[in-house]
Amino acid sequence: MALYDASMDKDHNAFLARMSHELRTPLNAIIGYSEMITEDLEFGDIDPDDLKMSMEKILGASRRLLGQVQSILDLTQLEAGKYEVITELIDVQQVVERVRALAAPIAAENGNALVIQIDPKLPAITADKRMIEAILSNLVQNACKFTKKGMVQLDIVPNGFFVLFKIVDNGIGMTERQITNSFSPFAQADTSSVRQYDGSGVGLAVCKGFAELMGGGIVVESSPGNGAKVFVRIPRIVQLLDKNDDWDTEDDPTIYGR
C-alpha cells in the first residue's frame, strides 16, 4: 500500500496556482485591449497609432499565452514518454530569426539589448527543429524576463561532435539552490521574491527534457546579482539508436540513447 505524500500534493497545488496566474495574465491583457478597441470603434474615435499599439499588445500577449500552453502540453508528453524525436537538416538562421521575433518584445519591454551571434564556421545541424526552437525560445525569453535594462546574448558555436548554444544575461542571477531547482516543473527560481517576474518553470523543465532526448544536456552557471550563463550542448547530428541495432555507442558520443 502506497503511503500518502502530502508534500507532493503541496507541490502540485503550488504548480497549478502558479500556472493559473501565468495563463490569466496574458488573457487579461488580450481581453483588456480588445475591449478598448471595441469601445473606440463603437464611438468612431480611434487613432491609427493607438490601434496599432493595442494590436501589438494583443499579439504579444497571445504569443505568450500560446507559449505557456505549448510548454504544458510538451511537459505532459515528456513525462508520459510519448515525445518522438524527428530529425531533419536545420536552417539555423531561420530558427534564430523565429527566436528573435518571439523574444524581442520582452527584451524591449524590459529595456534590454538582444544580441544573437552564429559562428560562420558552424557546420550543418541535423536534429529535431521544433525541439531546438523551443529550447532557444524558452531560454532566451526567460533571460529577457529576468533582466532589466541589460543585455541578453545567444551565441551558437561548433563544439566537436556537438553544437553549443550559450545564453548569457546580466540579470538578477540565481543561488546554487535555485539552480538546482530551476529545471523542476514544480518550481520557479523563487516563489516569493521573483513573483514580480513572469514564469512558471515549465519551460525550463521542457528544455532539459528536449536536450536529453536528443542526446545533449544543459548546464547553468549563476550567482545572485551577477546574471546567468546557460550552456546547451546538442549533437551536431542527432542519431536515433534503434534498439535492434548492435551499435557501439562508446565509439560515437552523439548517438542518442547512450
Q: Could you read off the pLDDT tens digit of each residue along the chain, which spans 258 residues?
A: 344 344 445 555 555 666 666 677 778 888 888 888 888 888 777 788 888 888 888 887 787 777 777 777 777 777 767 778 899 999 999 999 999 988 998 899 899 999 999 999 999 999 999 999 999 998 999 899 899 999 999 999 999 999 999 999 999 998 888 877 777 765 544 444 444 444 445 677 888 889 999 999 999 999 999 999 999 999 999 986 554 444 444 455 444 443
Amino acid occupying residue 139: L
pLDDT given at position 178: 80
pLDDT given at position 17: 60
Which triple of cell numbers denotes residue 93? Answer: 538562421
pLDDT in tens, 49-66: 888 888 888 887 787 777
Instruction: Sketch the domain layout of the chain as residue ranges.
Output: 6-79, 88-240
Amino acid occupying residue 15: F
pLDDT in tens, 156-211: 999 999 999 999 999 999 888 887 777 776 554 444 444 444 444 567 788 888 99
pLDDT given at position 10: 53
SS (H, E, C) 128-143: CHHHHHHHHHHHHHHH
How far from 217 is each of 14, 22, 153, 166, CA to CA, in Å? 27, 27, 19, 12
Taking domain 6-79, whether its CATH number is 1.10.287.130 is answered by yes
Which triple of cell numbers denotes residue 233? Answer: 550542448
Question: How many angstroms separate the CA atoms of 136 and 62, rounded?
Answer: 19
pLDDT given at position 192: 46
Which triple of cell numbers denotes residue 149? Answer: 535594462
Q: What is the CATH number that goes with domain 88-240?
A: 3.30.565.10
The answer to whether the beta carbons of residues 227 and 211 sit under 8 Å apart is no
Give the 3-state secondary structure of residue 76. helix
Give the 3-state secondary structure of residue 91. coil
How far from 85 is each of 126, 146, 244, 246, 254, CA to CA, in Å? 11, 30, 17, 20, 14
Question: How many angstroms separate the CA atoms of 146 and 167, rounded?
Answer: 13
Question: How many angstroms separate the CA atoms of 202 and 208, rounded?
Answer: 10
pTM greater than 0.95? no
Question: How many angstroms separate the CA atoms of 142 and 201, rounded?
Answer: 9
Amino acid occupying residue 197: Y
Q: Which residues contact 234 (CB under 8 A, 6 or more apart)?
A: 125, 127, 132, 162, 163, 165, 211, 214, 215, 216
